[in-house]
Structure 1
Amino acid sequence: MNKKVVITIARQFGSGGREIGEMLAEKLKIPFYDKALIHFAAEASGIDEDLFAFADEKAVQSFWSATSGATGVYGSRLPVFNEIPMNDKLFLIQSNTIKKLASESSCVIVGRCADYILRSEPYALSVFIHSEDEDKINRIIRSYGVPEKEAQETMIKTDKKRASYYNYYSGEKWGRADNYDLAVNTSAVGIEGAVSLIIKFAELKFAESPQSTDTIYP
């Protein structure tokens, strides 16, 4: 099955989501987008890249929460672009960047509400990566150089920010199973196991028939 597929990865901090995304992209020989999205969005809009970096996966209380009847950034009662706060403008610009990149080719996109932004696209596969706290804390210490005494607090705060950002802009609940095609526990299957599982799931989801033996590899 040589079809276009865009894999979006939401992840708990320390669960290995970014590493999984990179491995998936390498195995499938497709582009990988994480913080590079900030650069592309800044380049397309002419807005300073530092502004995008500052607002990256952070929610603010603003027009969206105050607008009656709105459900997330795509609520039914939208303001004029020039009237909305800067963080919301940046989200809309980044959303357009995600849509553009996804429309151009297969790719892997980490975070930034990509699963919600591409929720109606037939080629999109959404994944949520999670794991046990002990494993996340060990990975945060080992991979991010966070001191052991600060690792748990960093994990909690980072996940809280990600959840707030996702819930705020999507109107959905971050980490809730029915918001994703697949949830993977890396404590159970490991990083490489998660990559294999996602590829197999993608082959099944995008198979032309239940008996298909095609793969999503180029």
Structure 2
Amino acid sequence: MKTVITIARQYGSGGREIGQKLAQRFSVPFYDRELIATAAKRSGWSREILEQADEKAGSNLLYAMIMGNNYPYAENAIASGRLPINDRLFQLQAKLIREAAEAGPCVIVGRCADDILRGKKNVFSVFLRADLTFRKERAVTEYGVQPESAAGWVAKQDKQRSGYYHFYTDEKWGDAENYHLCVDTSSIGISGTEQLIARAVELHENQTGQE
């Protein structure tokens, strides 16, 4: 595989597990929470603090800088500590995502990676959804959410991810126009989705002439 796979996902749809399976299948690096660890090491910030800020929208200042492609100014602002932690984390993660993509094929989950890498020939972007029952069950069994709180927790996480994506990309999270492939994981299962994406990536590479 020569492709960078980005996975955006509804909460509880299995994005992390599917991403890990794809990375194992193709023997490529996998990035999800691993980006937090790298960001903490590079910045010297506390990993715990970064985890609290992860995939949460920040300030209008960084958004304006990003939309205006004023990255040098943004990096200077980050270095000086003038931006909120959410914005500093997003900018650092965006830099790490670009570096990972430049280094070679990999799988990246969340964090607006599809938009950060948009337009690159070797990127294949996926959005994963699932019905509410499937996601509530995974919230309980995989993440330890209390059954009576599952529906509200799933809705809260989706709202947070949607707001984060729109804030930093000015695009609608989950809109099929923004992805190469959208899959309902509750209809074909985790393993089936992983196999489907793997096959789609192979077809994508053939179509775009990657060898």
**With structure 2 as the length reference, what TM-score do the two structures score?**
0.89
SS at match of 2:56: coil
Q: 1:207 to 1:137 in 2, by over 3 A?
A: same
Q: Kindly state the Cα deviation for residue 165 of structure 1 after the two structures are TM-superposed.
A: 0.6
Unaligned segments of structure 1, at least 5 residues: none
How far 1:52 moved relative to its partner? 1.9
**1:1-218 equivalence runs, <5 A:** 3-64=1-62, 70=64, 74-76=66-68, 78=70, 80-81=73-74, 82=77, 83-207=82-206
For residues 153 and 104 of structure 1, the distance between their equivalents in structure 2, rounded to whole angstroms, comes to 39
Question: Does the C-alpha gap of structure 1 residues 195 and 119 become closer, same or farther in structure 2, counting only changes over 3 Å?
Answer: same
Q: Report the Cα distance in structure 2 between the residues aligned to 1:99 and 1:209, rounded to whole angstroms.
A: 21
Gaps of at least 5 residues in structure 2 are none
**So what's the TM-score if we normalise by structure 1?**
0.86
The one-letter amino acid of 1:49's match is R
Q: Output one character per residue of 1:179-203: Cα deviation in whole Å (capped at 9) or x when no partner.
A: 1110000121111111111011111
User: For 2:35 and 2:21, how far apart are their aligned partners in 1?
Assistant: 18
Deviation at 1:78, TM superposition (A): 4.1
2:9·2:128 contact (CA, 8 Å) conserved in 1?
Answer: yes
- Equivalent pairs counted in the alignment come to 204
CA contact (8 A) 1:20 1:194 kept: yes
Q: Is the 8 A contact 2:58 2:84 kept in 1?
A: no
* Identity among equivalent pairs (%): 43
* Amino acid in the other structure paired with 1:17: G
Letter in 2 for 1:117: I
Higher helix share: 2
Cα distance between partner residues in 2 of 1:6 and 1:21: 11
